[in-house]
Amino acid sequence: MSETKFIRQCAEFIERGSSHEIPKTARGLYVLLQYQKQTGRYDVRYVGMTSRSSIGRRIARHKNSSKIWSHFSAFEVRKSVSEAQLKELEGLFRHIFRRDSSANCFNIAGSYGPFKRICQNDFSKWEK
Residues 64-107: tens digit of each pLDDT: 777 789 999 999 898 999 999 998 888 888 888 777 777 655 55
Give a yes or no: residue 2 inside a domain. Answer: no
Specify the DSSP element, H or E, that contains 116: helix 113-118
Give a yes or no: residue 63 inside a domain. Answer: yes
DSSP state of 91: H
Reported pTM: 0.80
For residue 22, the one-letter residue type is I
pLDDT band, residue 113 (cuts 50/70/90): low
In contact, 73 and 26? CB cutoff 8 Å: no
Number of domains in the chain: 1
Mean pLDDT of 11-27: 91
Per-residue pLDDT at 114 exceeds 80: no
The parent domain of residue 83 ranges over 8-125
Average pLDDT, the chain: 82
CA 80 → CA 7, 36, 101, 110, distances in Å?
A: 10, 36, 34, 28
